[in-house]
Chains A and B, each alone.
Chain A
Amino acid sequence: MNRSLTVDVLFWCFAAGSVLTGYLVFRTDSMVRAAFWLLASFVGVGAILVLLAAEFLGVVLILMMAGEMLIMAVVMVMFMMNPAGLNPMFMVHQHRFAVAAGVVSFAGLSAVALTVDFPDQPVDPAVDATAELGFELLGDSMLVFQTAGVALLATMIGAIALASRNGRFGTADEGSLEPALDIEELESP
């Protein structure tokens, strides 16, 4: 089989797989299963990026999603009072709003896909896309990425400060109460 046909077949397999698993995210009845289907969907997208010769981006997307989906499953189960995530539940809420939002975003993305004139620039196999990306990230686009990086770091520190057990007024599980404001009366001389 020649190379471009293989790539086409793989692309359609991954694309169909991503859409199908993305659909199953909402059709399953368990949060953990939903997280795993979403992970499968993202792995398909990452594989498509690899097919587009954006090797590094694709593999890093897959790498990041593994940790993120596990954290998501753990957090969802923690907040949902369903410690195992095995109890059946609905994954879809606010049906009317969800349907409207789905239709609008589908129409918008379809309009973009149909109207935009996508560039056709096959990557030269001799070019090391990973190295090029590195030069781009630490060259012309450095300011953009460093700004985003610092913003994300600040978010992380904020999230840790909010979730930390040790607060300004004691530990969270002991109430973490603000001290009372009444002023100690001074003894008159």
Chain B
Amino acid sequence: MRAYLDPGAAVVSVAVAMVVGVYVVAVIDGTAGRLAAGAGRSDLGAVLLDPLRTVALLLTQRRRRTERADAPGWALAPGLLGGLAATGLAVVPVGPGTAVADPSTGFVVFATAIAFVMIAVFLHGWSPNSLFPLIGAYRYGAQALSLQIPFLLAMLATALPAESLAVMDIVEAQADLWNVVRQPLGLPLYLMVGVGVSFWGPLNLPDGADLIGGTSAEDAGTDRLAWELARAAMLFSIAAMGAAAFLGGWWGPLLPGPVWMALKTLFLLVVMVSSRHLVARVRIEPFVVACWAVFIPLALVNIFVSGALLL
């Protein structure tokens, strides 16, 4: 039997991890924003308190309602996105034999959570019955359908050396050589797609400023808070899986496994979150073309090379 926590303990540990992860995302974002703007690091207190201030502001702000909106869908979308982040996080092991859940299909469960993100974003843009959110929703449809295949292929390559779809086995197989070395194409592809899946920074096309906020154009108050929290949780979940699948998870000298796991997740989070302040936003058309014409072939090359090396 594989490792599983009790339902109660599982919910609590995933919830705690998500709260910490979301706060870390907000702090990294604030720090990177200040550094990119040349504001210096002197105001550490402001960096640490700003996320809480934003939460307090959004909690007191009035919600907005549109005409003939699909209220259940609107309320469901952030919950669905957050739930998907939690599902993805649950299958990531933090130490040898330590995971919330370690199904033999852990990789597929994670991929399913990523695939459902497009349902959540589409629902979020479609339900307010408003123009810009709707355009954002369709835009994300194009973006996500193009992202899915390179994402699946980049992840699938990591299952080859492990000869298993269980994430625990994938980490176990990286004892002598991390996948980031074994498959140099994998991690860059995964991070690019990860930024796109959580529509962050350069790939924030559905909620972009050119659409006046896109799918969240009509969000205010708790609606916006829930959506932003869920999106940050998704980033955290993707970073944690990237650390497990490509950076060797808990493997590392001296420090205990979970600490290594946390450090590697933090590193990937810094890379992904700071991209918002360092990389210009791309347009959807060249991005979709790049996905189909460049990233899918690259991901296939990655799989073929890793397969050939194993034979």
Q: What is the interface of chain A, defined by CB distance below 8 A to chain B?
A: 32-33, 36, 39, 55-56, 59-60, 62-63, 66-67, 69-71, 73-74, 83-86, 125, 128-131
Contact partner of B126 among A69, A71, A85, A128, CB < 8 A?
A85
User: Is B122 at the interface (CB under 8 A from chain A)?
Assistant: yes
A74 adjacent to B138 (CB under 8 Å): yes
B108 adjacent to A69 (CB under 8 Å): no
**Bound: A59/B91 CA distance, A:** 13
Contact partner of A84 among B1, B108, B126, B164, CB < 8 A?
B126
CB neighbours (8 Å) of B109 from chain A are 59
**Bound: A101/B70 CA distance, A:** 32
CB neighbours (8 Å) of A69 from chain B are 119
A70 adjacent to B112 (CB under 8 Å): no
Q: How far is the CB of B194 from chain A (nearest CB, A)?
A: 17
B122 adjacent to A73 (CB under 8 Å): yes
**Bound: A67/B141 CA distance, A:** 9
Q: What is the interface of chain B, defined by CB distance below 8 A to chain A?
A: 1, 68, 70, 73, 103-105, 108-109, 111-112, 115-116, 118-119, 122-123, 126, 129, 134, 138, 141, 144-145, 148, 164-165
CB neighbours (8 Å) of A55 from chain B are 103-105
**Bound: A73/B127 CA distance, A:** 14
A131 adjacent to B123 (CB under 8 Å): no
Contact partner of B145 among A71, A83, A125, A130, CB < 8 A?
A71
Instruction: Give the residue name and chain of the B residue nearest to A86 (CB).
Output: B129
A-B contact sample (9 more), CB < 8 A, given A56-B165, A59-B109, A70-B118: A33-B73, A56-B104, A60-B108, A63-B111, A66-B118, A67-B145, A69-B119, A84-B126, A131-B164
CB neighbours (8 Å) of B104 from chain A are 55-56, 128-131
B105 adjacent to A67 (CB under 8 Å): no
A36 adjacent to B119 (CB under 8 Å): yes
Q: What would be 29 A-B contacts, judged by CB atoms less than 8 Å apart?
A: A32-B126, A36-B123, A55-B104, A59-B105, A59-B108, A59-B109, A62-B112, A63-B108, A63-B112, A66-B112, A66-B115, A66-B116, A66-B118, A66-B119, A67-B115, A70-B118, A70-B145, A73-B122, A74-B138, A83-B134, A84-B126, A84-B129, A85-B126, A86-B126, A125-B1, A128-B104, A129-B104, A130-B104, A131-B164
